[in-house]
Amino acid sequence: MTVRWRTEHFRRRPPMDLAMAMSMALFSLFVGSSAYFFYKMAR
């Protein structure tokens, strides 16, 4: 049920979901790089 609603929602408004996915990817990249940096600093 939830998956079907998500696909319909995605079909109805693709740009917002695309922007959200892009921001999530950028955020994850930032978190990963900072975690790697702190890991290098700790060693």
According to the model, what pLDDT value does residue 25 have?
A: 94
Residue 30 in any domain: the answer is yes
**Within a domain: 34:** yes
Is residue 9, in this structure, part of any structural domain at all? no
Backbone angles phi, psi at 39, to 5 degrees: -65, -40
32 within some domain: yes
Which residue in this structure is represented by tokens 């999530």?
24
Residue 11 located in a structural domain: no
Q: How many domains does the chain have?
A: 1
C-alpha torsion sign, points 15, 18, 23, 26: negative
Confirm whether 4 is domain-assigned: no
* Amino acid 42: pLDDT: 87
Residue 3 domain-assigned? no
Domain, as residue range, for 40 = 18-43
> What pLDDT does residue 31 have?
96
pLDDT in tens, 7-37: 666 566 666 778 888 999 999 999 999 999 9
The whole-model pTM stands at 0.50
Could you tell me which residues come within 8 angstroms of residue 9 by beta carbon, excluding any fewer than 6 positions away? 17
CA distance 4 to 9: 9
Q: Which pLDDT belongs to residue 43?
A: 82
Question: How much is the pLDDT for 10?
Answer: 58
